[in-house]
Structure 1
Amino acid sequence: MALNKQNNNSEQEKRSNFTKEACLKLCGGTLLISLAVAFSAILYFSYKDYIHPKHVYGKWIEIGTPDYDTEILTFSERGVFRNERLITTDFEFDGTLITVATGSGQSVYQMSGTFKSPQLKRITPSSPTQRFIKSGYEDTVKSGGGAAKNRRAALSEHFNSKN
């Protein structure tokens, strides 16, 4: 009878250990899966914010051109405007490239610059080259009016100094 009680206690102890061990494994697995799901959700929502077009909304002013020939691009929820005229109602933004499709073809702009000086560079079509700065950040770049303006000023100074 004493042996039977020992076996009975031993079995209860084994069951107790087994249920504690199983419970710990189950809790650990659940915690690991929960952390993986939370990390995946953070990555997903971070990526969705990165490619949101709100990062390009606003006026973009061409730099390096004379004042009379400066182009202004405006990106908004309503579409893309060039010099206050609607050119398309849709554009694509993947985080670095902005693709604008119009009746005259496709233009691709690349985000460049820094947080303190956000800029766009037109990639397609590649000629003539165009660079834009976001409105409000114009003072972060030199705007000399382009090479032609500098050449005219140098020639004018050269011929005026001969007198």
Structure 2
Amino acid sequence: MNKNRISYGEENDINLKLLISLSRGLSEINRDTMRNIKEYGLTPSQFMVLEVLYHKGEMRVCDITEKILSTGGNMTVVISNLLKEEYIERKSTPGDRRSYSLSLTEKGEAVIEEIFPRHLETINEAVSKLSHEEKLELITLLRKMQGLLP
């Protein structure tokens, strides 16, 4: 083991540490939340589509893709599988035969209503070591890092 730690300068070293900490923290939360989702036979992308339709209501595919930060190619497969499982349904857009929106079916609503409370519990456990104020501060800092705040 190399005892002589290589430094790239104080600022670069801190930036690397920050990236590693963010990645490890998010990986841990994702691992735990994905375990719950997989128990229902869903992929993470399928869960995200069901979740956004549950909370936002009927949406066009392009809007769903934007909300869940997915790619169009991946979304086609995800939607096809959700339609096949009868978790979602297509609704045509009046006046535009090429466009359609998606909404949850009763079956889809039932599954997301069953999964989501466990999803929240898992997230709550993952961030339980942070105080309410620390969570708000972290949200502010991450939004600032994204350029959403000055």
TM-score, scaled relative to structure 2: 0.29
Higher relative contact order (CA 8 A, sep 6+): 2
Determine which structure has the larger helix proportion and give its number: 2
Larger Rg: 1
Determine which structure has the larger strand proportion and give its number: 1
